[in-house]
Amino acid sequence: MSVARFWRKQINRYNIVGTHCKTCDTHYYPPRNVCPKCRRDGDIEAYKFAGPGNVVTYTIIHTAAEGFEMQAPYALAIIELDEGPRFTSQVVCDPKEVSIGMRVKPVFRKLGESGDKGMIYYGTKYVPDNDRN
Amino acid sequence: MRDVAIIGVKNTNFGEMWDRSFRDIVVEAGVGAIEDSGISGEKLDGMYVGNMSGGQFVEQEHIGALIADYSGLSLDLHIPSTRVEAACASGGLAFRQAVMAVASGHEDLVMAAGVEKMTDVSSTAASAALAAAADREWEGIMGATFPGLYAMIAKMHMHQYGTTSEQLAAVAVKNHQNGSMNPIAQYKNRITIDNVLNSIMVADPLHIFDCSPITDGASALVLAPADIAHEYTDTPIYVKATAQASDTIALHDRRDITTLDASVSAGKRAYEMAKMTPADIDLVEVHDCFTIAEICAIEDLGFVKKGLGGKMTEDGETAIGGKIPVNTSGGLKSCGHPVGATGIKQLVEVTQQLRGDSGPRQVDGAEVGMTHNVGGSGATAVVNILSRKR
Amino acid sequence: MSVGIVSYGAYIPKFRIKVEDIARVWGDDADILSAGLMVYEKSVPDLDEDTATIAVEAARSAVSRHNIDAKRIGAVYTGSESHPYAVKPTSTIVAEAIEATPALTAADFEFACKAGTAAMQACMGLVGSGMVDLGMAIGADVSQGAPGDALEYTAAAGGVSFIIGNKESEMIAVIEDTFSFTTDTPDFWRREGMPYPEHGGRFTGEPGYFKHVTGAANGLMEKMGTKPSDYDYAVFHQPNGKFPSRVAKMLGFTKEQIKPGLVVPWLGNTYSGSCMMGIAATLDQAKPGDRIFATAFGSGAGGDAFSFRVTDKIDEVRDAAPKVQELLKDPVYMDYAMYAKHKGKIRLA
Ligand SMILES: [Zn+2]
């Protein structure tokens, strides 16, 4: 991913910052600038989520995506934030630990890098919230 | 709107075609379809070509013009040629564009084609190109792969409905059985449940034998207004419905992880358009990019109640001779999945079945067939219904 | 104006490798090594952890421990010898991640193992002069030891963040004074572009560590008119367990005084985080009124000595973030092969 393309959404990745539609009180993460429910009647504002959530579903990826080879096998999950929205993230732990419905909390990690010379991309991943499982 | 008929079809062989280029295979399919239709190429009013990612697979955009040129339809004739893209649903969408062009009366004889040349890049690069059908900024960046996304659907399906790995494997076994009877299929070998379960894990619970392969291939067909179709062929196959639907680009935003609402919606529209129900369909080619995708598809298209697709497959009801034969071509799994061509290949298969031309894999008495082509993890779906009767 | 620690936070990756697992690869005697170094295992970063991610986790822990409004932080300085970029600050990543941007100054520090305490001193100057309201000083490292080198047994990963302020009412520990002792002594270095550091072997001891730690420690006690028995606790840079124990004895501190802050045996040397980790572990159990003496050492070389007096506030904030001993609990052990993968010693291309 190009430098500018990553940087543009950096604040949404460093912290779980999405959007909220004041018209229908729906939260969005990843952020949306148009509320799909209200469309032009929507009133969108930035919204910082608390962070914790649940695993909706997951997989253990053995054949890694390009750039993720060193991490294989890794757990990829759809996570539902306590405020409602769902998004895709890695759950960083022993893959055997992951289960549907488990509580997870955010951590700050490297998302990737553009080879040895390029940018390092940082952002949020998830880990099991062992105090709440 | 005018009724539309298919008057000619052609699939190239599907597989790893090391000695043949992108333009070689698409020209073979196009010329073959024209020959099959009995028309002359210069009579074409337009071409619609499904292609997912010429840019990434062969570093070639402007696919429409390239194909018209190398088919000999540019020089002097200047026949309009349009590329259509919706990831793996590109072929199905190209067909829909072509049907609408003829139905509207704007064009008469129209070609719909699909092509993908996937083996000119490394399998890592091919996987990266395919991953671009998902949400690059919010799925791909986290390490999501296509098998990974469908694996999350499978995991949920197993969790919610008790679907088993054996039931997933049964899809692959059945499709290889069908593919073994299809001369163009990439894999003509039969496999067993154990072969699937003992193959390497790609993205839990999907093994490599749960996944469709990387394939080179092209398919093409020729459409004509139904009123004049008999001038070209004794067995025109009529387009009873062509429907398309969209859903969220990312899997995580779906209403229900195990339902492809785009498939449900396109299916409903198609049934309405054709004034038919699932009971009227004699065979269906569904988008089995992964075994779980076929299970979701037969549920979403109304052939079985949600959650029972695995059992239905395991019980043999989707085999040739079963209640509703699914993927007689071998599907994406066994016949191969040249992504831009797949949607057209499905239509070629159903056309040949309805003509009664399918040899050992022929579905007896097939009158009505359906095709179901999906883009990404379900953000686009195209459903078409074809019939022997107008 | 008095200055002090307003909050602190530590972070330690969950992975460990035992000295015996490293020794097995190189044919060394683990028992002799462990006894000599007084180090039994060391922390290892996850595949997606580096100095920046560790610094952010430590910084967030410090912010949440005392419920700090990050916008008040006017300076973020991150000390490390393993910044992920040669050029491009780690501190901007931290500042953005804790949402302290954009009204602040930030820079990265490097002074081998004492870059974090040098950052503390810079923050003391800024808040003491009133230039900024709060300053954040971080020491974090994913330090590298060349395969087979003695450093490989101890080079660990971890980080600590201190928030320094000038309002006595919110300080958990007043920094009574600081003193530094610096010379140009090439006992350890890493050249630009090189993956692993070089060191002077035994030269790192006497003319390096011991000269500068005692120089700084004695200098501070002389300046303040204090003596070891005035302190409840003492912390010294801990590249291994042996050096801080010996230097404590040389200076006249007891084993009991250094015990709470001696975290190296089960953690390894967290370099820029090393002395600060000891201070954090001591704050984790100090009582109001306790005095803590600390001296960091950085190769190259210098010592930074500090004298802290713990305030009543400590009881209010201490339990609001993970303590060092909690971070050390329940580690996940790995063998040398996984360790090599985690440390980038296996390269795919
Ligand atoms: Zn709304």
Dihedral angle computed from the Cα positions of residues B105, B107, B113 and B114, in that order, rounded to the nearest 10 degrees? -70
Amino acid code (one letter) for A46: A
C173-314: CATH class: alpha beta
Domains, in order of start, for chain B: 4-122+215-237 (3.40.47.10), 134-212+240-387 (3.40.47.10)
Task: Decide: residue A5, CB within 10 A, 0-12 exposed, 13-18 middle, 19+ buried.
Answer: exposed
What is the distance in A from the centroid of ligand 1 to the CA of A38?
Answer: 4
The second-level CATH assignment, the architecture, of C3-171+318-342 is 3-Layer(aba) Sandwich (3.40)
- Any chain B CB within 8 A of the CB of A57? yes
**CA distance readout (Å), C295 to A11, A15, C164:** 37, 35, 17
d(CA B167, CA B169): 5
Distance CA B283, CA B371 (A): 9
Question: Which amino acid type is present at position B199?
Answer: S
Q: Which of A11, A94, A109 sits opposite C53 (nearest CB)?
A: A109
Cβ–Cβ under 8 Å, residues C82 and C141 = yes
Q: Do domains C3-171+318-342 and C173-314 have the same CATH topology?
A: yes
B124 part of contact set with chain A, CB < 8 Å: yes
Contact A87/B200, CB-based, under 8 Å? no
Q: Does residue A107 sit in helix, strand or coil?
A: strand
- CA nearest to B123 within chain A: A66
Whole-number Å distance, alpha carbon A32 to ligand 1 midpoint, is: 10
Contact B137 A9 (CB under 8 A): yes
Q: Are strands C73-79 and C105-109 parallel, antiparallel or unpaired?
A: parallel
Contact A71 C48 (CB under 8 A): yes
Q: How far is the CA of A57 from the centre of ligand 1 (A)?
A: 26
CA B62 to ligand 1 centroid distance, Å? 39
**Domain ranges for chain A:** 3-128
Peptide bond between residue C84 and the one before it cis (omega within 30 degrees of 0): no
Judge: A110–C49 Cβ closer than 8 Å, yes or no. Answer: yes
**pLDDT in the model for residue B13:** 98
How far apart are the C-alpha atoms of B359 and B367, rounded to whole Å?
16
Sequence-distant (≥ 6) Cβ neighbours of residue B318 within 8 angstroms: B171, B174, B294, B298, B303, B312, B324, B325, B326, B327
Q: Which of C47, C48, C78, C341 to mutate to test the interface with A (most CBs of A within 10 A)?
A: C48
Cβ-defined contacts of A5-11 (< 8 Å, 24+) = A5/B137, A6/A119, A6/A121, A9/B137, A10/A123, A10/C96, A11/C96
pLDDT of C349 > 90? The answer is no
Q: Is the pLDDT of residue B307 over 90?
A: yes
User: Within 10 Å of residue A11's Cβ, how many Cβ atoms?
Assistant: 16
Cβ separation of B253 and A86 shorter than 8 Å?
Answer: yes
The pocket of ion ligand 1, defined by CB under 5 A, consists of A 21, 23-24, 35, 37-38, 42
| Average pLDDT estimate for B193-201 | 98
Is pLDDT at C345 greater than 80 in this prediction?
yes
Cα angle B362-B363-B364, degrees, rounded to a multiple of 5: 105
Between chain A and chain B, the number of residue pairs with CB atoms below 8 A apart is 107
How far apart, in Å, do the first and last CA atoms of chain A sit? 35
Residue C202, pLDDT above cutoff 90? no
* Dihedral angle computed from the Cα positions of residues B181, B182, B183 and B188, in that order, rounded to the nearest 10 degrees: -70
**Average pLDDT value for residue range C79-104:** 97
CA gap B372, C104 in Å, rounded: 57
The 8-class DSSP code of residue C207 comes to: I
In terms of CA atoms, which chain A residue is nearest residue C57?
A: A108
Q: What is the mean pLDDT of residues A44-67?
A: 97
Catalytic machinery residues of C: 81, 113, 237
- pLDDT tens, residue by residue, C66-78: 999 999 999 999 9
Tell me how crowded residue A32 is: count the other CB atoms within 10 A of its CB.
17
Residues across chain C: 349
Query: Which pLDDT belongs to residue A1?
Result: 83
A133 has a pLDDT exceeding 80: no
Residue whose entry in the numeric block shows the structure tokens 């920094």: C175
Whether omega before B205 lies within 30 degrees of 0, making that bond cis, reads yes
Percent of chain B with pLDDT strictly greater than 70? 100
Average pLDDT for C116-128:
98
Residue A98 has a pLDDT of: 97
C-alpha A39/C-alpha C121 separation (Å) is: 53
Angle at B165 between CA B163 and CA B169, to 5 degrees: 110
Would you state the pLDDT for residue A117?
92
Q: Are C236 and C213 in contact (CB under 8 A)?
A: yes
Whether residue C165 is predicted with pLDDT greater than 90 in this model: the reply is yes
* Side chain identity at residue A101, one-letter code: G
> Long-range pairs for C200-207 at CB < 8 Å and ≥24 separation?
C204/C299, C205/C243, C207/C301
Q: Report how far apart, in Å, the C-alpha atoms of B279 and of each of B262, B275, B284, B372, C23 are.
A: 21, 12, 12, 16, 71
**Domain extents in chain C:** 3-171+318-342, 173-314
How far does the centroid of ligand 1 lie from the alpha carbon of residue B259, in Å?
24
- Give the closest-approach CA distance of B263 to chain A in angstroms: 20
- Does residue C204 have a pLDDT over 90? no
Nearest to B138 among A66, A76, A88 (CB): A88
- Kindly tell me whether chain B and chain C come into contact, counting contact as 3+ Cβ pairs under 8 Å: no
Whether residues B152 and A86 touch (CB distance < 8 A) is answered with: no
pLDDT beyond 80 at C300 = yes
Region B205-233: what's the mean pLDDT? 98
- The pTM of the full predicted model, rounded to 2 decimals, is 0.96
Which residues of chain A have a CB within 8 Å of the CB of C63? Answer: none
pLDDT of residue C348: 78
Instruction: Assess contact for C158 and C270: CB atoms under 8 A.
Output: yes
The answer to which of A129-133, C51-55, C321-325 has the lowest mean pLDDT is A129-133
Give the mean pLDDT of A71-94: 97
Interface check B204 vs A, CB under 8 A? yes
Tell me which of B88, B211, B289, B335 is the catalytic residue: B88
Binning pLDDT at 50, 70 and 90, where does residue C201 land? confident
| Rounded Cα distance, C348 and C344, in Å | 9
B296 has catalytic annotation: no
Confidence bin at B243 (pLDDT 50/70/90): very high
Residue B276 contacts A where some CB pair is shorter than 8 Å: no
Residues of chain A with Cβ-Cβ distance to C96 below 8 Å are: 10-11, 14
DSSP string, C149-164: SGGGGTB-EEEEEEEE
Pairing type for strands B4-11 and C134-142 reads: unpaired
Beta carbons of A90 and B143 less than 8 Å apart: yes
Q: Does A70 touch chain C (CB under 8 A)?
A: yes
What pLDDT sits at residue C200?
A: 87
Give the single-character DSSP code of B183. Answer: T
Thinking of the domain A3-128, which architecture would CATH place it in? Beta Barrel (2.40)
Chain A CB contacts of B123 below 8 Å: none
Question: Looking at residues C224-243, what average pLDDT do you find?
Answer: 98
pLDDT > 90 fraction of chain B, expressed in percent and rounded: 99
> Mind listing the pLDDT tens digit for each residue in B105-162?
999 999 999 999 999 999 999 999 999 999 999 999 999 999 999 999 999 999 999 9
Strands (E), chain C: 3-11, 15-18, 41-44, 73-79, 105-109, 134-142, 157-165, 173-185, 188-189, 198-199, 233-236, 291-298, 300-310, 332-333
Identify the active-site residue in B157, B207, B287, B337: B337
Chains that touch B (3 or more CB pairs under 8 A): A
